[in-house]
Amino acid sequence: MPIVELWHEAATFEPAPSMKALNYPPHITLAIYEDFVPDESIGVLSRIFGTQPAVTVTFSGIRYFQNEFLVLWARPVSNDRLLQLHAAIHSEIDPTLCREYYRRSCWEPHCTIAMKIPRSMFEPAINWAEQKRAEFSVTFDAVDIVRFPPVEVLSEVRLTP
């Protein structure tokens, strides 16, 4: 899978491979809630995604977020289905309960490929990201509710092929 290959390449900029350490497959996070009751969210997950087909996302390049650590991510090409699914979650669950960066007005769809790049490696990692040709498509066939860290899957809905 192209995302996992990018994980391996990007891990060379980290003291330890952050994405492999999650023990969780490549994903796009649609929302993060601090204090949402899992029993309620399981019903919401089934209502929103129970009959949805799998989502194919095309990626075109590597980008980064710069915080205490550098986060590298694969950038999806604009995808109406992905935006609709994100909006559906926020129409079912009060968006003010969601972390600000995952709300409709702030959300940047992305698939993280490394999340613990130390400051000393920012420059080589950014250079790699800017030069790396990363054009591929991935079909996401499940939606999970997870608790983290560590990642624990609380509920999963398989999307139809």
Q: How far apart are CA 61 and CA 109, in angstroms?
A: 13
Radius of gyration of the CA atoms of the chain, in A: 16
- Asked if residues 111 and 125 have their Cβ atoms less than 8 Å apart, the reply is no
pLDDT at 42: 73
pLDDT at 40: 67
Q: How far apart are CA 141 and CA 77, in angstroms?
A: 18
Strands 152-158 and 142-147, by their bridges, are antiparallel
Average the pLDDT over 72-76 and give the result: 98
Place of tokens 């409709």: 104
Average the pLDDT over 146-157 and give the result: 90
Name the token pair of 66. Answer: 């710069």
The verdict on whether omega for the bond into residue 150 sits within 30 degrees of 0, i.e. cis, is yes
pLDDT at 27: 97
Say which residues have a Cβ less than 8 Å from residue 160's Cβ, sequence separation at least 6: 51, 52, 53, 54
Q: Amino acid identity, residue 140?
A: F
Residues in the chain: 161
Q: Amino acid identity, residue 107?
A: W
Give 2-40 pLDDT, tens digit per residue. Answer: 999 999 999 999 999 999 999 999 999 999 988 766 666
Average the pLDDT over 98-107 and give the result: 93
- Asked if residues 10 and 69 have their Cβ atoms less than 8 Å apart, the reply is no
Name the token pair of 76. Answer: 């999806």
Average the pLDDT over 51-62 and give the result: 95
Q: How far apart are CA 148 and CA 100, in angstroms?
A: 18
Give 107-142 pLDDT, tens digit per residue. Answer: 999 999 999 999 999 999 999 999 999 999 999 999
